[in-house]
Amino acid sequence: MGHRASPNAALSSEDPLTASAQFVRGVGPARFELLRKLGIETVHDLLFFIPRAYEDLSDFRRIADLEADKLQTVMGEVVEITGRTSRRGLAIVTVVLHDSSGVLEAVWYNQPFMAQRFHYGQRLVVSGKPKRSNAGYWQMAHPRVQPLEAEETLPVGESAILPVYSLTEGLRQEQLRRILRHAVAQYAELVPETLPESLRQQRQLPGIAETLRWLHQPSSLEQAQQARRRLAYEEFLILHLALAHRRRDVNAQLRAPPMTLTRTLDARIRRLFPFTLTRDQNRAVAEIARDMKQDKPMRRLLQADVGAGKTAVAVYALLMCVANKYQAALMAPTEVLARQHWQTLNSYLAHSRVRRVLLTGSLSERERRLTLGEIRMGQVDLVVGTQALIQNDVAFHRLGLVIIDEQHRFGVLQRAQFRNLGGDSRLQPHYLVMTATPIPRTVALTLFGDLDVSVIRELPPGRKPMKTQLVPESKRRELEKYLRSEVEKGRQLYVVCPLVEGEAEDDAAGELFREPTTVSAIQKAATGPAAESAGILGGSMEPNSFVQPTPYKGAEEQYEYLRQGPFRGLNVGLLHGRLDERRKESVMERFRRGEIQVLVCTTVIEVGVDVPNATLMVIEHAERFGLSQLHQLRGRIARGSVAGECYLFADVSSEISRARLRLFVKTTDGFELAEADARLRGIGQFFGTRQHGVGELRFANLISDVDLLEHAREDALQLTRADPGLRQPQHHQLRQAVLERYGGRLDLAEIG
């Protein structure tokens, strides 16, 4: 939090909050070393070590008093542990608990490791919704379990809500709970209040001392939630104050070249496109042109659904800039995507006098030197490239516009690296960042809070509806025969694997899906337009039908299997992130020309690759991907006039996997899928926020806390207008919190 910056190793201090946590009652030198493994160094760190969950023991029952299908808690002793495998290969672990009134079975499916987590005679607190088994016993499937230490007693009354903390080996829940009780009692009142009283009253938020008590010792789940919401609001407020001040400073200090757009120029640019822009594209063009006419730098995010046509809008902006006698640059995250943009631009500008070059890391030394000289001397109007564009030896003659594609793959701070490339130190280029990864509005307001936002949801006319199907393993041979026949008719096929050879693909390692713990978010999100012919090949989604019992098959292994087996005699290619750039481009070019009929690949083809004849896709182990990533992959086969067909193989033995993939099969709306993805995985995995310069949000959830985010953003703007430097006495702690957390990351050397 922004309450104070915690030093890494403060052994003593005049401020008790920055003193070492070692001296909190119940810690001591040995236990302090365990706390350090959890990132706890100081008293402040300890106070703000948030519970990962709460155990609600308020509806505590004897086993004999349980009611069916109602969330309840029991305590029992482990009397039996069994593990078996069903006829279909599903691992089943059963733990039998006994209390003075009866017996309960706790059951886990496809989680054989659960048998190692318990031992005979162990006391467990178990929460779940019981059902009667065929044998007449009460049974809970996949319950929440909290082991009780030998000396630990069950809480009752107001202490029936137990915080559950992340632990490290050698540290037990009851020990950490006791330490936190001592810390809160001794230090909570010493934590300075960051939020002004007026804001706390307006938003009905508890004070910080009360918040800490409710966080670690709530008397109800509502209290715990109130405490978290207070801390989440504070996080949002501090972030949006930082963004507001950054934006204010940019608008006050920086100047950009104002550009003109006449009707004649508008018509000339539009004539280059072999199609008419959609309503959403025209609105985005108007917003961008309005920004570029100003003498303040445009800072705009253009986000579009897959295939909605953001590239055409970007080309319009580039040509508007060039027509005003300024240079323009387009930066892509990979060489494959940079070359894709280069080919698109060349197709539009085939008969144009616009001078253009491609600058990537694979140029020879001589080619690079000549290209840099042309850029520096102003002999080039338009530059397309990768991160090679922001190397120290790159200098532009008169840079007027920078477009950064798929910005979330770079990180917001890299925009600043263009500042010194423009030739005229008095002027900054206009900035347009764009993505075909749909972003929920709340996420965009936070990760790109210093930008204006344009959205393209409308797809160009003539696009055929997509077919998406989940295929049981038993139908694999049948599908392979069908796909072979379609490829022999002239269509092309992607086969996507999450791995290269048993390890996470380098350029997707942060994207692979980590299983969440709830289904409700997915069910809430299932409101988008249905995919054509969406469904399950071969019947219902029975878990055992879809389990892939073999180890994950990497792209290289899959490539060998397909070219020697079901696709023998076809031209099968292989593409993944470990190939050098020249090899990647060679493979993609052969695929574009139709020389390669089947491309086995990893997520290197996720963004931007455009091969209209490739209208078939198989995704292996689809449960390993996030919803947004699956949508990006599916978007590769929505580029032509023939309806795309996407087939998924997946392990859906867990309820979560089934729910996620049902949603993906059902809807083609990228924004609906993005919202579900962000809610399920958390924004850290949705975008990899460590790259964004805004840091991880510890308390706030960008999707479920939308009301808090809106309130915090509104309050931040009002505070910035009323007290631009946060200099008033009641804002002193807030100002310190903003500077401590974001001063270095967002160039806020000083506020005001």
Q: What is the CATH number of the domain that holds 207?
A: 1.10.150
Q: Do residue 279 and residue 405 come from a single domain?
A: yes
Closest CA to 507 of 306, 688, 637: 688
Q: Do residue 339 and residue 392 come from a single domain?
A: yes
Q: Do residue 591 and residue 515 come from a single domain?
A: yes
In a domain, 633, yes or no: yes
With beta carbons less than 8 A apart as the criterion, state whether 723 and 245 touch: no
Q: DSSP H helical segments within 254-358, as ranges? A: 263-271, 279-292, 310-323, 335-348
CB within 8 Å of 349: residues ≥ 6 apart? 272, 356
Provide the CB-side half-sphere exposure for 666 (13 A, CA). 14
Q: Do residue 528 and residue 585 come from a single domain?
A: yes
Parallel, antiparallel, or unpaired: how do β-strands 399-405 and 327-331 relate? parallel
Q: Do residue 649 and residue 524 come from a single domain?
A: yes
- Domain holding 531, by residue range, is 467-667
CB within 8 Å of 247: residues ≥ 6 apart? 299, 450
Q: Do residue 643 and residue 572 come from a single domain?
A: yes
Q: Do residue 337 and residue 287 come from a single domain?
A: yes
How many folded domains does the chain comprise?
Answer: 4
In a domain, 448, yes or no: no
d(CA 138, CA 128): 11
Provide the CB-side half-sphere exposure for 294 (13 A, CA). 13
pLDDT value of residue 154 = 62
Closest CA to 357 of 372, 336, 340: 372
Closest CA to 294 of 399, 431, 417: 431
Closest CA to 301 of 421, 429, 449: 449
Q: Do residue 274 and residue 381 come from a single domain?
A: yes
The CATH number of the domain holding residue 616 is: 3.40.50.300
Structural domain ending residue among the three candidates 632, 652, 667:
667
pLDDT value of residue 407 = 58
In a domain, 705, yes or no: no
Element (H, E) at 494: strand 492-496
User: For the packed helices 655-666 and 627-635, what is the interaxial angle rounded to 10 degrees?
Assistant: 40
In a domain, 729, yes or no: no
Q: Do residue 340 and residue 479 come from a single domain?
A: no
Distance of CA 721 to the CA centre of its chain: 32
CB count within 10 Å of CB 735 equals 22
Structural domain ending residue among the three candidates 667, 700, 734:
667
pLDDT value of residue 501 = 58
pLDDT value of residue 688 = 44
With beta carbons less than 8 A apart as the criterion, state whether 648 and 619 touch: yes
Q: List, run by run, the mean pLDDT of 10-residue segments along the chain (752 residues).
A: 47 76 94 94 95 83 91 91 88 94 93 91 90 91 82 59 89 91 96 94 96 94 94 93 77 85 97 94 97 93 86 96 96 85 91 91 88 94 89 89 74 51 72 82 67 86 84 92 96 90 40 39 46 48 45 80 94 89 86 94 73 92 87 84 90 78 88 76 48 62 81 91 89 90 59 42
Q: Do residue 322 and residue 404 come from a single domain?
A: yes
Q: Do residue 406 and residue 341 come from a single domain?
A: yes
Q: DSSP H helical segments within 81-220, as ranges? A: 173-187, 197-203, 208-216
Report if pTM > 0.85. Answer: no
Q: Do residue 387 and residue 405 come from a single domain?
A: yes
CB count within 10 Å of CB 439 equals 27
Structural domain ending residue among the three candidates 184, 199, 219:
219
CB count within 10 Å of CB 69 equals 8
